[in-house]
Structure 1
Amino acid sequence: MNLNTNYQNILFPYAYNILGSVDDAMDAIQDVITKYISSSKPNIENEISYLIKGVINQSINIKKRNQKTTGDKIWLPEPISTEKADTNINREEIISYSMLVLLEKLNPKERAVFILKEAFDYSHEEIATAMSFSIENSRKILSRAKKALEKMKKDFEPSPMASPTFLKEYITSIKTGNVSALEKLLSDDIMVKTDGGNVSIVSELMVGIKEVIKLMIYVYNTYQKSFSIVESTVNHQPALMFYNDGKLVNCQVFELEKDNEKIMTIYSIVDPEKLKK
């Protein structure tokens, strides 16, 4: 039996939601499956539960290691298209992009408990079994995680989807330099967060409507005029994909205000390592 083929679609959302990286998620899955295949498998009654537990804990270990290397730089999750069905991945179990960014504020164990409860609807008993601690610890860790998120004044619902014309209006306004049109589309305190990896970028963080409009028009006129721009859905949120000679070079994911369709955050991924998939 090919465990990679049979179980990858089940295991991937667990690993990716904890790690925010496709490559790291695949590494975690491969490590666990390889060890399982080579083990003697004593007293394993439920194979998939055993593998899920292994992937969760391996992902936590990888996340702990990675957090030590990213430092204070803005680190954004690797985007995944959720626009079309994929037979290899259950995209309904992929967390929204804004939530993945927010979860970076939690430690890996808090993040895992929160994800298991909120995304996979695990009971505290199931979480305790998967993570090898008590039910009471599960409750305490979840409570701590929710309090940390509440301090950042975020709720746990995904960003609302844009109207069919929303992204077209936005990119047309950028292309034409229409400041007044952009002012109607952007929140006054809009933020642009950019992850360039090892690539040089214009700005890592920009805050405020006037500054953001200047930045986005400048970036388009200086770098993106010849690019092909495609509307998409990334981690259940509206996105624009920028292609240079057929190669994806920038993914912009939009977080919208809940009471209207004004943009409150643009997550801009330029890091080539996160645009390979």
Structure 2
Amino acid sequence: MTQYYQLLFPYAYNILGSAEDARDTVQEVLSKYYTSERAGIQDEKNYLIRSVINLAINYKNRNKRISRQPAEWLPEPIATDDTADKNVYLKDILSYSLMVLMERLPAIERAVFILKESFDYTHSDIAEVLSISEEYSRKLLSRAKTRLFKPEAAVRSKTQEADTKSLLMDYMDTIRRGDVARLEKMLSAEVALMVDGGGKINVVTKIAHGASEVARVLALVFDKYLQYADAAFHWINHQPALLFSKDGKLYSCLVFELGPDHSIQSINSVVDPDKLSLLSQQIQA
């Protein structure tokens, strides 16, 4: 069962954007499978993948209908450091920026995009998994691609890792010194900051745009809430991140998207205590 959990988790998580919901989805599928009559199932692996994907799509659609999910809702972060949770196939987890963009897609488009672009399924395979025609699969992929980009392979060279860590350490040094002018120069002109407090934490702002505004908000939040916290560098959904903790409790997760010129293109800040609790358990495992 553990082997299948590792295999199935990324399918559910990439569709749902929630590690907790993904775990529940996989557990429900595996529990039903191992406690029911399995006669006639010739390909156990593909049967379980198909079951998880379809259940995840149903959950996503149901949650969209019954929840009042705010526009600034962010996916639950997953640590993808080399030493992170080994119970999931980390290489199959989508990048954080792509997960944020994927929230624009209907669940069925999201599933087609993930299967084709991330897992290299053919349209024939997708049609079988989702019980749709190959032509409809192609149409759904085309729609998704008009708003999204193809995810890059989660491969980092040692040089890239070192350069990225150095840049974020420079960011920390700049913000600790209160050098807002220098901080602005590290941000792209069109930088965007999104903050998800889960409705439980009062945040300075939920969304900010532009180097000047974002730099001001970052400096204010650091001075008011984070200047005495310990900052640690991690990879979250294959993107660089800073995790802020006090007395062993995780308070903030900032996920950065960097441009080719090493400027900061976007920052997604997760301060929702529920999402941070689960992330904390993962990185400490």
TM range (shorter): over 0.9
Aligned-partner Cα distance in 2 for 1:227–1:166: 19
Aligned-partner Cα distance in 2 for 1:157–1:7: 25
Aligned-partner Cα distance in 2 for 1:60–1:177: 45
SS in 2 for 1:163: helix
Q: Which residue is 1:242 aligned to?
A: 244
Distance 1:156 1:30, change over 3 A: closer
Q: Which residue is 1:100 aligned to?
A: 99
Structure 2 residue identity aligned to 1:10: L
Q: 1:13-32 residue pairs with structure 2 within 5 A?
A: 13-32=10-29
**Match among 224, 228, 236 for residue 222 of structure 1:** 224
**After superposition, what is the alpha-carbon deviation per residue over 1:57-82, rounded to whole angstroms, capped at 9, x for unaligned?**
01001111222314443110111111
Q: 1:36-185 residue pairs with structure 2 within 5 A?
A: 36-68=33-65, 69-85=67-83, 86-149=85-148, 154=149, 156-157=151-152, 163-185=164-186
Q: 1:194-213 residue pairs with structure 2 within 5 A?
A: 194-197=195-198, 198-213=200-215
Q: Does 1:261 align with 2:262?
A: yes
Aligned-partner Cα distance in 1 for 2:165–2:217: 25
Structure 1 residue identity aligned to 2:170: E
Aligned-partner Cα distance in 2 for 1:59–1:67: 12
Structure 2 residue identity aligned to 1:82: T
- Aligned partners of 2:118 and 2:151 also within 8 Å: no
SS in 1 for 2:97: helix
- Aligned partners of 2:165 and 2:240 also within 8 Å: no
Aligned-partner Cα distance in 2 for 1:232–1:156: 20
- Deviation of 1:155 after TM superposition, in Å, equals 5.6
**After superposition, what is the alpha-carbon deviation per residue over 1:149-206, rounded to whole angstroms, capped at 9, x for unaligned?**
3xxxx56447996533100110111111112321221111211100000221111001
Given the two structures, how large is their TM-score scaled by the length of structure 1? 0.92
Aligned-partner Cα distance in 2 for 1:6–1:265: 35
**After superposition, what is the alpha-carbon deviation per residue over 1:69-104, rounded to whole angstroms, capped at 9, x for unaligned?**
144431101111111244311111110000000110
Given the two structures, how large is their TM-score scaled by the length of structure 2? 0.90
C-alpha RMSD of the superposition: 1.7
- Aligned partners of 1:99 and 1:158 also within 8 Å: no
- Deviation of 1:148 after TM superposition, in Å, equals 3.2
**After superposition, what is the alpha-carbon deviation per residue over 1:106-155, rounded to whole angstroms, capped at 9, x for unaligned?**
00000000000011011111111111111111111111111233xxxx56
- Aligned partners of 2:194 and 2:206 also within 8 Å: yes
Q: Which residue is 1:275 aligned to?
A: 276
- Aligned partners of 1:231 and 1:241 also within 8 Å: yes
Structure 1 residue identity aligned to 2:146: K
SS in 2 for 1:199: coil
Q: Does 1:233 align with 2:235?
A: yes
Distance 1:173 1:27, change over 3 A: same
SS in 1 for 2:194: strand
- Aligned partners of 1:44 and 1:50 also within 8 Å: yes
- Aligned partners of 2:72 and 2:196 also within 8 Å: yes
Structure 1 residue identity aligned to 2:95: S
Aligned-partner Cα distance in 2 for 1:235–1:71: 22
**After superposition, what is the alpha-carbon deviation per residue over 1:5-63, rounded to whole angstroms, capped at 9, x for unaligned?**
23100000100111111110011111111211222113100111111100000100111
- Deviation of 1:263 after TM superposition, in Å, equals 0.4
Aligned-partner Cα distance in 2 for 1:250–1:50: 39
Q: Percent identity over the alignment?
A: 45
Aligned-partner Cα distance in 2 for 1:246–1:70: 32
Q: Does 1:192 align with 2:193?
A: yes
Q: Which residue is 2:4 aligned to?
A: 7
Structure 1 residue identity aligned to 2:254: Q
Aligned-partner Cα distance in 1 for 2:273–2:70: 20
SS in 2 for 1:255: strand
